[in-house]
Structure 1
Amino acid sequence: MKTLPIIAATFLSISVLGLVGCQTVSAPSPEAVVTTPTDPNKLDSDGDRVPDSIDRCPNTPWNIVVDKQGCPPTPIGTDLKMEYRAYYEAGSNQLTQEDLIELDRVADIMKQYPESKVLFEGHISNYEKSTNNAALAQERVEYVENYLILNHGIQPDRITIEAYDATRPLSENEDNKEELRLNQRVYHQSP
């Protein structure tokens, strides 16, 4: 019967060791839990550094260069390159038939790449600026934008236009007609 007290003492020792090894930590009180309010204007779900509130291309893959609206300059996995130039007669905002054919080609490419976006620049010459035609650069680039929207159904948010007046001349010499026309233009070039 001596074995019973030895078994009981062993069981008691194991129980005490088990209790010592199983210490519990109390949960923090509700007052101790701190939550930080989240500003919805700073949320950036895809990590492209463009807040979700203005991100036009959510879920951009990690490590992709994006524009200020959160979109890649060209569709991912493509090397879309195109250039469009239209030159105008002095004081005109009308495209020639050849320029319209080229603009139709731009529209066809944009339809093939539905995520692509374009930027068109409108320019005038110093001669046009001196004859109070400063609004002409805007009219030229708006004509191109409207043509793509109305004739080809390109979504307006895919087209950005900028009017640069006579601030970015291609030619400083406007003495002859050809040099003058170089500055009277609408221009687009993909990166």
Structure 2
Amino acid sequence: MIKLKCYSALLLTVSINLIGCQTTEIEAPKTTPIYENTAAFTPDILDGDGDGVLDGIDECPGTPPHRVVDAKGCLVELDVGGLEIEFVGFFPSMSSHLPAIYDTEFAKVAEKLNEYPKASAFIFGHVATNEISEGPLETLDFDSLSRNRALIIKNTLVLQHNIDAKRIRTYNCSNKLLFKDTDYINPSFKALELEGFESKQRRATLMASSSVSNLTNLKYEYYIKRYGEYAKHCVKFE
């Protein structure tokens, strides 16, 4: 019974306090303006995915959090400082010997590959149409010249610059990817005193990337544009 009385007294005290809270009215200072925020509930200015672009103009709703978007609310692919380089070397007719004029440029390519040890290198061997029809090639595989041109680039990287051979893939492009007369040709072409349409096709192309490791699985438009034609027309040697 004593406990009950104490409990009743406690309830009475709390009830009195609550009544006091309910009847106490605090008036805001007259100098403090009171705003009513109704805009937050207006449907046409909501930002459902929190990307900073309002739903009414967001063309890519459902953006994952903490991602960079453009003015339309779509994801922006950022350049994270990876490696993308390209080298083109030209050869004398019917030759797979890379001229010494490229030694300095090659050293720079190898230096970059060493800076990015996980980057892959793709080497594409090319031949001119008139080289395919030459007599010596009729007794060999027609692709042997383009293969040797790609391999000379690979061997230079491996033997002279200690690049791991497993990072390098070589391809035969035959005469399927042609330089046009309007295409940019690096200064070495003229330095080698080469001229004419066929001379432009006697080449090997090296492309290195820290983002692309497989030409059969190109995911982004930039890499499809950059490597797509090689993936389509060139056959992998190794």
Picking from 127, 151, 159, the partner of 1:150 is 159
Deviations, residues 107-163 of structure 1 (Å, cap 9, x unaligned): 110011111111010000001001043211000100110111111111011111101
Residues 171 and 180 in structure 1, CA contact (< 8 A), matched pair in contact too: no
Distance in 2, matches of 1:100 and 1:150, equals 13
Residues 171 and 183 in structure 1, CA contact (< 8 A), matched pair in contact too: no
SS at match of 2:83: coil
Q: 1:188, CA displacement in angstroms?
A: 2.3
Match of 2:93 in 1: 90
Picking from 103, 107, 115, the partner of 2:106 is 103
Question: For structure 1, which runs of at least 5 residues remain unmatched after alignment?
Answer: 1-75
| Corresponding residue pairs, total | 113
Match of 1:15 in 2: none
Deviations, residues 52-109 of structure 1 (Å, cap 9, x unaligned): xxxxxxxxxxxxxxxxxxxxxxxx9432121100011111111112222212211110
Distance in 1, matches of 2:207 and 2:147, equals 18
1:139 aligns with 2:148: yes
Residues 94 and 140 in structure 1, CA contact (< 8 A), matched pair in contact too: yes
Q: In the TM superposition, what are the counterparts of 1:59-138 in structure 2 within 5 Å? A: 77-131=80-134, 132-133=136-137, 134=142, 135-138=144-147
Give the % identical residues.
20
SS at match of 1:164: strand
SS at match of 1:90: coil
Deviations, residues 19-68 of structure 1 (Å, cap 9, x unaligned): xxxxxxxxxxxxxxxxxxxxxxxxxxxxxxxxxxxxxxxxxxxxxxxxxx
SS at match of 1:94: coil
Note closer, same or farther for the CA distance 1:178–1:99 as it changes in structure 2 (3 Å cut): farther
Residues 119 and 160 in structure 1, CA contact (< 8 A), matched pair in contact too: yes
Distance in 1, matches of 2:202 and 2:82, equals 29
Q: 1:178, CA displacement in angstroms?
A: 2.9
Note closer, same or farther for the CA distance 1:130–1:177 as it changes in structure 2 (3 Å cut): farther
Distance in 1, matches of 2:112 and 2:196, equals 29
Q: In the TM superposition, what are the counterparts of 1:34-49 in structure 2 within 5 Å? A: none
TM-score when normalising by structure 2: 0.44
Distance in 1, matches of 2:101 and 2:167, equals 23
TM-score when normalising by structure 1: 0.54
